[in-house]
Every structure is written in structure tokens, then in C-alpha cells.
């Protein structure tokens, strides 16, 4: 069914097309920060800018896919200097493209920075922060060419329960108790493109045993205490020292099948960065799928609560922005209801995980008596029922 015939059937005006365009622009603006990355440079020449673009491209692709493995697809370090040595390699054309990252830079600007760089003699030199904004469409095409997928810009917000057993005793790390370590977490989370918030024991004065529950890894108590933050995802990091290294036990209660991880590093900052990276990888797999998950198929979805042209536009826009949705087709429309055929670039589990992040589209699980009534109506069974709520 075409959009025009659908609008006519529902009695809606064609100005909806303009509304859809405005929503698309707003969505692009929300994703823009993921395509922006900065790096300190010593001058503002085009050659330095091109070199900087090459240096940050792998960081950008890791952020957009959620998979650090994509960095392994980049060319060897000596490729730029002697590309002729690799002309017979099957990856030569891709490596050549990856060595010319400047072609995907849409905008750039310079900012003052406190970061200091040194020259070959070790002398400090004036430094500026180069801010590069990459072209979304071009980068998306590059990622598909590399066999990976883009993780959507709507990402779950993680609640960080970070417990440190150190010289000050056992305490919860957040901006109030240890600003330096909290900043490490925030910076690495920004690098990987995942929003985080810190837990604070002052919000749990009525739960005197919570610190012990967290250290003991009691999932039910942790999940209950986490409800006040209304986060999408929960991270528990327990850090202690074995005398030589810092050991971090990372768990993510609430995600089924995710095992506890043991991470080690000689510094607290290093082990915390590892924890953020591991969290990002897990979330990317759960919400974005991975390059190994190319299971695809078609899903028929019914969306109720469609009362206006704006409702329809927003529903279409929200579904189309999901990377797991390869394409969609309007199947039919009735009063306050539409049915869509979704072609998935992934599995239903990933689709459902992303829909759970959207407060506007809520999955409906009909009761048995409701299913029997549906069978007697003109509506055929569908794979998924959603309710649109403004």
C-alpha cells in the first residue's frame, strides 16, 4: 500500500510528508554527536587534518558498531608509506579507502585545549583541539562494506554500581566520592557512545545492608535498589587489589546469559576503561546485534493507537531509524490501527530489546481470551503487537 493511498484511506492530509521530513532531521541531529570526534593537533594545515582523520577513524567505527573487532580490518601500519607492497592483498581496495578518511569529513572546527603535545625534541608546542564531524551516510556505507552494522543512536542508559575496596575502605565510586575515577568512566563511556549514570548511596539510607549486598553480588537486592534510577541497564563493578594488579569483577544483572567477567590492570583507570569497553560490547550485541548475527526475516507488526497523521509519521520514523529494520512496508490500515511488514537485518530479540527503549511504542501481550477474539475477527494473527502512546 502506498503512502498516498494510506493517507486517503485514513483521511489525512499530504502535509504529513513535510512532518516526516522534520522528524527525520530531528533524528539525524540526535545521532550527530556519535559521528563527531576530536583529537589534539599542533597546526591547522590540511595535511595535519587529513592525518588526524585517519588516526580517529578506527575509534569512530568502534563507537558506531560497538565492536572493537572492527579495528582489526584496518590496514597495517606501513600501508600508507608503501601501499604497493600490498597490491595483491584482497583487502587492498578497502585499505586504500580506510587510509583516506578525509573523504568522509563533513565539517571541522578548532577549539582551545589544555592538552599539551611535544615535538621530536620533547619541547611543548602550541596545541588546538580539532573537532571532526563525519558524514553519516558515507560512514554507514563504509561500515556495511566492511561487513559490520551500525548500532542505533538510541542507546540504553547504564546505571553504574562501582565498588572499590581500597585504602579508604570499601565505598561506592561516583562524582561525589571520587571525581577522578568517575571522570575516567564518563570519558570512556563518551568514547564508546554509551550514556551512563552513577549510583549514590545517599539515595539508599533506608537500605543499610546495600553495600554488602552489592559486594556479595545478590542480584535481586541489586535490581530492587536500581529501580529508583529508572535506568535501562545495570552494571556492577567490584574492584579490589591482589597486591600487584587491580582486579575488577564485572556483572550485568538484568541481561540473561551474560556471565561475570574478570578484568585486571596495573592501574585503576585502566581496569575501569576495560569495564566500560566490555559493557559497550555486551550492549552492542544485545541491542544492535553483531557482525556474526545476520539472521534476517520478515515480521508482521500491528500498531494500535494511531489517531493522527503525526502519530503515523512518528511511528514510521521510530521504526525506520532502527538498524535492525532493513525496510518496512505498510500492509493495511483500519481505524486507529496499521499493520506493517518489517524486513529485519537481525533477529526478533534485538528488535524487541530496542523497542523496550522507546516509551512511545509499547509491546502488547494479549491474554488468551483476547487471542481467541482476534481469531474470530477480520484481523489475521500477527507476529508482534505494539501500542503507540504519546
Ranges of each domain in the chain: 32-145, 158-288, 293-388
pLDDT above 50 for 283: yes
Q: Where is pLDDT greater, at 381 or 265?
A: 265
- For the chain, the distance separating the N- and C-terminal CA atoms, rounded to the nearest angstrom, is 25
Least confident of 128-142, 191-205, 213-227, 318-332: 318-332
* CA angle 49–280–212, rounded 5-degree value: 135
Strand bridging mode 261-265 / 325-334: unpaired
In Å, how far are 10, 243, 290 from 352, measured between CA atoms? 28, 44, 15
Longest dimension (CA), the chain: 82
Is residue 246's pLDDT more than 90?
A: yes
Work out the pLDDT band at 9, boundaries 50, 70, 90: low
The rounded mean pLDDT for the chain is: 86
Confidence band (pLDDT; 50, 70, 90) for 189? very high
Query: What φ, ψ does residue 110 adopt, rounded to 5°?
Result: -125, 145
Q: What is the CATH number of domain 158-288?
A: 3.40.50
pLDDT at position 290: 60
pLDDT at 24: 42
CA distance 321 to 330: 16
Overall fold of domain 293-388: Alpha-Beta Plaits (3.30.70)
In sequence order, what are the beta bridge partners of 169?
166
Percent of the chain beyond pLDDT 90? 59
CA dihedral sign, ordered 74, 78, 82, 88: negative
What is the average pLDDT across 321-327? Answer: 83
Q: What cell does 275 get?
A: 569495564
CA distances from 102 to 48, 51, 56, 58, 138 (A): 11, 8, 11, 13, 11
Whole-angstrom Cα distance, residue 283 to residue 238? 19
Q: Is the pLDDT of residue 370 over 90?
A: no
Question: Which is more confident, 245 or 299?
Answer: 245
Going by pLDDT thresholds of 50, 70 and 90, the confidence category of residue 381 is confident
Q: pLDDT confidence of 28, banded at 50, 70, 90?
A: very low
Cell numbers standing for residue 309 = 497523521
Amino acid at each position: 500500500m502506498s503512502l498516498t493511498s494510506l493517507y486517503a484511506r485514513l483521511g489525512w492530509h499530504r502535509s504529513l510528508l513535510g512532518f516526516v521530513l522534520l522528524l527525520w532531521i530531528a533524528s539525524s541531529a540526535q545521532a550527530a554527536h556519535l559521528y563527531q570526534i576530536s583529537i589534539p593537533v599542533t597546526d591547522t594545515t590540511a595535511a595535519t587534518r587529513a592525518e588526524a582523520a585517519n588516526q580517529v577513524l578506527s575509534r569512530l567505527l568502534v563507537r558506531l558498531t560497538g565492536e572493537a573487532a572492527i579495528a582489526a580490518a584496518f590496514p597495517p601500519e606501513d600501508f600508507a608509506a608503501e601501499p604497493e607492497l600490498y597490491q595483491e592483498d584482497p583487502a587492498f581496495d578497502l585499505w586504500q579507502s580506510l587510509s583516506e578518511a578525509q573523504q568522509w569529513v563533513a565539517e571541522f572546527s578548532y577549539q582551545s585545549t589544555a592538552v599539551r603535545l611535544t615535538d621530536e625534541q620533547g619541547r611543548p608546542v602550541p596545541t588546538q583541539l580539532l573537532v571532526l564531524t563525519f558524514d553519516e551516510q558515507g560512514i554507514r556505507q563504509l561500515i556495511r562494506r566492511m561487513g559490520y552494522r551500525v548500532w542505533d543512536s538510541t542507546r540504553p542508559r547504564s546505571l553504574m554500581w562501582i565498588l572499590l575496596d581500597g585504602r579508604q575502605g570499601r565505598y561506592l565510586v561516583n562524582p561525589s566520592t571520587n571525581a577522578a575515577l568517575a571522570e575516567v568512566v564518563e570519558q570512556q563511556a563518551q568514547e564508546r557512545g554509551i550514556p551512563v549514570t552513577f549510583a549514590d548511596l545517599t539515595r539508599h539510607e533506608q537500605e543499610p545492608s546495600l553495600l554488602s549486598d552489592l559486594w556479595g553480588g545478590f542480584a535481586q537486592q541489586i535490581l530492587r535498589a536500581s529501580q529508583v534510577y529508572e535506568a535501562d541497564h545495570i552494571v556492577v563493578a567490584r574492584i579490589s587489589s591482589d597486591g600487584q594488579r587491580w582486579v575488577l569483577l564485572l556483572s550485568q544483572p538484568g541481561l540473561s546469559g551474560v556471565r561475570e567477567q574478570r578484568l585486571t590492570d596495573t592501574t585503576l583507570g585502566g581496569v575501569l576503561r576495560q569495564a566500560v569497553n566490555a559493557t559497550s560490547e555486551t550492549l552492542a550485541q544485545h541491542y544492535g546485534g553483531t557482525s556474526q548475527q545476520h539472521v534476517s526475516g520478515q515480521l508482521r507488526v500491528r500498531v494500535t493507537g494511531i489517531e493522527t497523521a503525526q502519530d503515523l509519521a512518528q511511528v514510521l520514523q521510530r521504526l525506520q531509524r532502527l538498524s535492525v529494520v532493513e525496510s518496512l512496508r505498510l500492509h493495511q490500515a483500519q481505524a486507529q490501527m496499521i499493520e506493517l511488514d518489517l524486513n529485519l537485518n537481525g533477529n526478533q530479540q534485538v528488535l524487541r530489546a530496542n523497542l523496550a527503549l522507546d516509551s512511545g511504542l509499547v509491546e502488547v501481550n494479549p491474554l488468551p481470551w483476547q487471542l481467541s477474539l482476534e481469531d474470530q475477527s477480520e484481523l489475521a494473527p500477527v507476529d508482534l503487537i505494539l501500542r503507540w502512546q504519546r
